[in-house]
């Protein structure tokens, strides 16, 4: 008999609501309102990235998300003392450590968990000691996964950017790479999340990866919301994820 796959959570990244707000200054559109609508639409969590340059989410957004939203917050941060202090002050449900370069438009690659072991080790320990679930945003590469284990991180988020950008056979190869990494997560005892670049037309095969437990999706949903509204956009993403998951087998 074919067993159903374990549930797959949807984390909605609201950064780009703040991008639009900041284009004009002022308070609108409000990322908090987006978080409330995401909850109404069936999201399982909210993701927000407080960048060093505060280009989208700003400190007061994090304060308000923590104070006013019931969904768990996945707080994306760079591995800096400043961000560690902010995370420890707010104690969100999860902290996802991401690489950050000022000049990049978005998070372009995974964290070098292997190369930065000594820098990351105390940070992961302090977040964990504060009861924060630590996740590392890494490439789908066995060396990075083994490093996540060595660092004591219980979760990794696999960077899906290349899979989303490529087409045809190259995309199929990238999907296999993500699936192999997710399998390795299972063997290593890491919880597997996947994110970056996911959209209606590419989410299905990723949602069908058995070991995946959470997808984090932002830019596409906020863009789609301009045309159909945020709640319908999230509901459609949820439907596509659930459909792909139901068709797959454990
Ligand atoms: N996961 C992580 C760790 C990210 O850094 C981002 C982008 O901020 C996302 C998921 C969401 O990616 P996108 O906005 O392309 O859906």
Query: Does the beta carbon of 144 sit less than 6 angstroms from any atom of ligand 1?
Result: no
Atom of ligand 1 nearest to the CA of 219: 14
Q: How far apart are CA 187 and CA 116, in angstroms?
A: 23
Going 217 to 218 to 223 to 227, the CA torsion angle's sign is positive
Is pTM beyond 0.75? Reply is yes
pLDDT in tens, 131-183: 999 999 999 999 999 999 999 999 999 999 999 999 999 999 999 999 999 99
Overall average pLDDT of the 6-16 stretch: 97
Answer for the pair 160, 179: CB distance below 8 angstroms, yes or no: no
Instruction: Indicate the fold that domain 9-247 takes in CATH.
Output: TIM Barrel (3.20.20)
Reported as half-sphere exposure (CB side, CA atoms, 13 A), residue 64 has a value of: 14
pLDDT in tens, 67-102: 999 999 999 999 999 999 999 999 999 999 999 877
Compute CA distances 41 → 8, 10, 18, 170, whole Å: 15, 11, 19, 33
Query: Does the beta carbon of 74 sit less than 6 angstroms from any atom of ligand 1?
Result: no
Q: Which of 159, 219, 220 is nearest to 192 (CA)?
A: 159
Pair type for strands 9-13 and 45-49:
parallel
Q: How far apart are CA 23 and CA 35, in angstroms?
A: 19
3-state DSSP of 128-191: HHCCCEEEEEECCCHHHHHHHHHHCCCEEEEECHHHHHCCHHHHHHHHHHHHHHHHHHHHHCCE
Predicted local confidence at residue 219, as pLDDT? 98
What percent of the chain shows pLDDT beyond 90?
94
Q: Is the pLDDT of residue 32 over 90?
A: yes
pLDDT in tens, 93-131: 999 999 987 777 777 789 999 999 999 999 999 999 999
Domain ranges of the chain: 9-247
How many A from CA of 14 to the centre of ligand 1? 10
Query: Does the beta carbon of 45 sit less than 6 angstroms from any atom of ligand 1?
Result: no
How many A from CA of 3 to the centre of ligand 1? 30
Cβ neighbours for 227, distance < 8 A, ≥ 6 positions apart: none
């Amino acid at each position: 008999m074919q067993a159903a796959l374990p549930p797959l959570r949807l984390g909605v990244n609201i950064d780009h609501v703040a991008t639009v707000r900041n284009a004009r200054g002022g308070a609108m559109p409000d990322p908090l309102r987006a978080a409330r609508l995401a909850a109404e639409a069936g999201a399982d969590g909210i993701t927000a990235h407080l960048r060093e340059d505060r280009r989208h989410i700003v400190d007061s957004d994090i304060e308000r998300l923590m104070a006013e939203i019931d969904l768990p917050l996945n707080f994306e941060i760079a591995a800096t003392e400043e961000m560690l202090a902010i995370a420890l002050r707010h104690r969100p449900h999860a902290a996802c450590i991401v690489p950050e370069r000022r000049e990049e438009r978005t998070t372009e690659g995974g964290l070098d968990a292997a190369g930065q072991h000594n820098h990351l080790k105390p940070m992961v320990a302090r977040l964990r000691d504060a009861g924060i679930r630590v996740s590392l945003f890494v490439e789908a590469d066995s060396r990075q996964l083994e490093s996540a284990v060595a660092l004591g991180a219980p979760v990794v988020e696999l960077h899906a950017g290349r899979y989303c950008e490529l087409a045809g056979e190259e995309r199929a190869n990238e999907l296999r790479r993500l699936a192999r990494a997710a399998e390795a997560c299972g063997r290593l005892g890491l919880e597997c999340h996947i994110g970056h670049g996911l959209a209606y037309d590419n989410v299905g095969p990723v949602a069908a990866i058995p070991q995946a437990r959470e997808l984090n999706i932002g830019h596409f949903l906020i863009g789609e919301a301009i045309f159909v509204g945020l709640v319908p956009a999230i509901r459609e993403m949820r439907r596509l994820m659930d459909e792909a998951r139901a068709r797959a087998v454990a």
